[in-house]
Amino acid sequence: MTGYKPHPRGTLLHIYVQPQARKTGFKGLHGEELKIALATPPVKGQANEALITYLSELLGVPEPQIELLTGFQSRHKKVLITGIYIKNFPFAKFVPNR
């Protein structure tokens, strides 16, 4: 696994979130998950909202196409990106083949 896998509706991301970082951005892999640092604190869902906004901007898809499936109160999250499939997935250039 490389942090993402195909899903019937798009691509499923396995993400490890680092909240309250200095700067929001993609940081590579954390084990088998994509690591994303967020400058937002994990208070009242703010970090989850920031994650969806960041992914929307990074991938160029509207926020309604991004759905947090699991990990609402955890650093380990599963996020579904509808309409973007593995072969077109932009994280592929950052994640080494395994």
pTM (2 d.p.) = 0.88
Domain residue ranges in the chain: 16-76
Residue 98: per-residue pLDDT: 43
Residue 35: per-residue pLDDT: 94
- The 10s digit of each residue's pLDDT in 36-74 is 999 999 999 999 999 999 999 988 899 999 999 999 999
| Cβ contacts of 79 within 8 Å, gap of 6 or more | 12, 13, 15, 51, 52, 55, 66, 67, 68, 69
Asked if the model's pLDDT at residue 14 lies above 50, the reply is yes
Q: For the domain made up of 16-76, give the CATH fold.
A: Conserved Hypothetical Protein Mth637; Chain: A; (3.30.1200)
Contact 34, 91 (CB under 8 A): yes
